[in-house]
Amino acid sequence: FSSDEVTVVFVLGGPGAGKGTQCENLKRDYGFVHLSAGDLLRAEQKRPESKYGELINHYIREGLIVPMEVTIALLENAMKEAMETSKSTRFLIDGFPRKMDQAIKFEEVVVPSKVVLYFECPEEVMLKRLLKRGESSGRIDDNIESIKKRFNVFTETSFPVIEAFEKQNKVKKVHCDQPVENVYKEVKTVFDTMFA
């Protein structure tokens, strides 16, 4: 894809920060396509013909990062499909990249991102949200053991990606320890200046 034609926003932040929730708002109000890397992986995992089902299941339960070949192929296919079926050109890539090599590879082979939304949230707030969601989500990683692993991987591996984008002045930080509507006000401020 060419960056003249396609706009990519990376939406990053810890597990349970509220990435998915706010992306749905943005999808409604700004005509972006919302692609959650985690959702794409979960859908692939459920596909009976998939050769990655077992692998994805294992990585997600352990809070580990699935090899990028799998994730990038899913994202690229989803983008192509959205462009063909609905002529979409604006994409929110939610929960990806989670590792430095993924960021470099995606921007090299798919398209460079325009901006990075960083959902900042204290761990104890995210923990509370995830445990609550776990009561009904059915997600195999919404349990205390998996959540702790996800937090560790975020701190050790994924947060450095955000720091690297910060050095490129691409990061817009949003404070997520407040009600959904207030978080969205902050998000809108960013989008109104960039994508009005």
Binding site for ligand UP5 (CB under 6 A): 13, 15-21, 36-38, 41, 59-60, 63-66, 71, 95-96, 98, 129, 133, 141, 150, 176, 179-180, 183
Does residue 15 have a cis peptide bond before it, meaning omega lies within 30 degrees of 0? Answer: no
* The entry of Mg ion, ligand UP5, none that residue 129 binds, CB within 5 to 8 Å by partner kind: ligand UP5
| One-letter-per-residue 3-state SS of 103-141 | HHHHHHHCCCCCEEEEEECCHHHHHHHHHHHHCCCCCCC
The answer to whether the beta carbons of residues 142 and 134 sit under 8 Å apart is yes
Nearest approach, Cβ of residue 158 and ligand UP5 (Å)? 8
Nearest approach, Cβ of residue 87 and ligand UP5 (Å)? 26
* Choice between 115 and 134, CB closer to ligand UP5: 134
Nearest approach, Cβ of residue 169 and Mg ion (Å)? 26
What is the spatial distance between Cα 33 and Cα 8, in angstroms, rounded to a whole number? Answer: 10
Phi, psi for residue 134 in degrees, rounded to 5: -60, -20
* The entry of ligand UP5, Mg ion, none that residue 117 binds, CB within 5 to 8 Å by partner kind: none
Nearest approach, Cβ of residue 46 and Mg ion (Å)? 16
* The entry of ligand UP5, Mg ion, none that residue 9 binds, CB within 5 to 8 Å by partner kind: none
Give the number of other CB atoms < 10 A from CB of residue 59.
Answer: 18
